[in-house]
Amino acid sequence: MLPDHQSIAPSVLYFGTPVVLMVTRNRDGTANITPMSSAWALGSCVVLGLSSAAQGAVNLLRDGECTLNFPSAGLWANVERIAHTTGVNPVPSHKAEMGFVHESDKFALGGFADQPSELVLTPRIAQCPLQFETRLLTSHSSAKQRHGASSTHLIMEVDILRVHAHRNIVVPGTNHIDTAQWNPLFYVFRHYFGDSVDLGKTFRAEH
């Protein structure tokens, strides 16, 4: 490629990661959905980046468990329906200023159905073809505290206890995800992307 780059200062650095719907349980036992995208797999763990102001982070720290639910691209409008909400009540002032409102039932608002888990008390989201049951391993604060901010970023590592995949995205008779069928939703510089094209596989791919 020709050396034709510019130095820029983007206000958003979300370069493109899958959307994850993290479900946690509130103190009263009801379930909350936290849409997030700062997440990646590391061996049998997933590393999550969460604002300490998110209800999901508070619940995960208290209960030590969550489910991670991966929506397919077709669910982007359902995700966006709950994007402006928080389980925190009252809404923190910095979020209220951005237009966030409190919502105690994000399942109903987003048109999602809950599905019981097998190893944890936290439910899954039935419409998500891929779901992980997890338990919290570690959590620490990001070294970079935003100046004057009332919240910080938490980096949380969760252990995957069980993986559930809809039969439509599993290669029959195997433990492999059928990547021709799995169409994850991505969050790229605050836009939703989907329908990704399979360009080829790495030398370690088993399927």
Q: Which chain residues interact with ligand FMN by CB under 6 A?
A: 19, 32, 34-38, 49-51, 54-56, 83, 86-88, 100, 187
Q: Is the CB of 83 or the CB of 121 nearer to ligand FMN? A: 83
Q: Which of 3, 10, 23 is nearest to 115 (CA)?
A: 23
Q: Is the CB of 54 or the CB of 165 nearer to ligand FMN? A: 54
Report how far residue 84's alpha carbon sits from residue 106's, in angstroms, rounded to the nearest whole number.
Answer: 11
Angle at 151 between CA 147 and CA 153, to 5 degrees: 90
Cis, peptide link before residue 172, omega less than 30° from 0: no
Q: Is the CB of 86 or the CB of 131 nearer to ligand FMN? A: 86
Q: Which of 81, 73, 78 is nearest to 169 (CA)?
A: 73
Angle at 51 between CA 48 and CA 53, to 5 degrees: 140
Report how far residue 181's alpha carbon sits from residue 172's, in angstroms, rounded to the nearest whole number.
Answer: 12
Q: How far is the CB of 146 from ligand FMN (least distance, A)?
A: 13
Report how far residue 191's alpha carbon sits from residue 178's, in angstroms, rounded to the nearest whole number.
Answer: 25
Q: What amino acid occupies position 173? A: G
Q: How far is the CB of 71 from ligand FMN (least distance, A)?
A: 10
Q: How far is the CB of 205 from ligand FMN (least distance, A)?
A: 27
Q: Is the CB of 66 or the CB of 120 nearer to ligand FMN? A: 66
Q: Is the CB of 46 or the CB of 169 nearer to ligand FMN? A: 46
Local structure of residue 204 (DSSP, 8 states): T
Q: How far is the CB of 85 from ligand FMN (least distance, A)?
A: 6
Q: How far is the CB of 183 from ligand FMN (least distance, A)?
A: 16
